[in-house]
Amino acid sequence: MGNKGDNTTDDKIRLDKWLWAARFYRTRALAKQAIEGGKVHYQGAKAKCSRVVEVQAEIAIRQGFDEKTIVVQAISGSRGGAPEAALLYSETATSEKARSDLAAGRKAMGQTSISDGKPTKKQRRDQQRFEQQQL
């Protein structure tokens, strides 16, 4: 079969493959889409999928409402379990604090931005009545 799955720290690993191995994205295709969409920055600059990941590199990843800044601790091209993936990186203290502050702010505001779908006829009439009163 060969040594395809055996990756050591000396191997050169692409950014999309490392993000997949570190379990930030479910598939390499999703990792590639995120990188091409500008949601991943390597050392403060927009990255390409083929960028070679180095130890101690800083990567900023935006996923949904959260933005994480991580530092690469190890290189791996094979996807393992969550405990092994957590050893590949460490999140910066400022990133953890910023994420927790934003999460607390979202929780305090409530989930007003998420709708239950299409409004009912009564809700639509109430909304139109409210908008007319504001004029």
Is 135 domain-assigned?
Answer: no
Is 120 domain-assigned?
Answer: no
Question: Which value, to the nearest 10 degrees, does the dihedral of the CA atoms of residues 14, 83, 29, 103 take?
Answer: -110
Is 53 domain-assigned?
Answer: yes
Question: Which pLDDT score is estimated for 10?
Answer: 54
DSSP string, 69-105: EEEE----SS---HHHHHTTEEE-HHHHHHHHHHHHH
Using one digit for the tens of pLDDT, what is the confidence trace for 6-36? 444 457 899 999 999 999 999 999 999 999 9
Domain count of the chain?
Answer: 1
Using one digit for the tens of pLDDT, what is the confidence trace for 78-103? 999 999 999 999 999 999 999 999 88
Is 116 domain-assigned?
Answer: no
How far apart (Å, rounded) are the C-alpha atoms in residues 104 and 119?
28
Q: Which domain holds residue 9?
A: 1-100
What is the CATH classification number for the domain harbouring 35? 3.10.290.10
Is 118 domain-assigned?
Answer: no
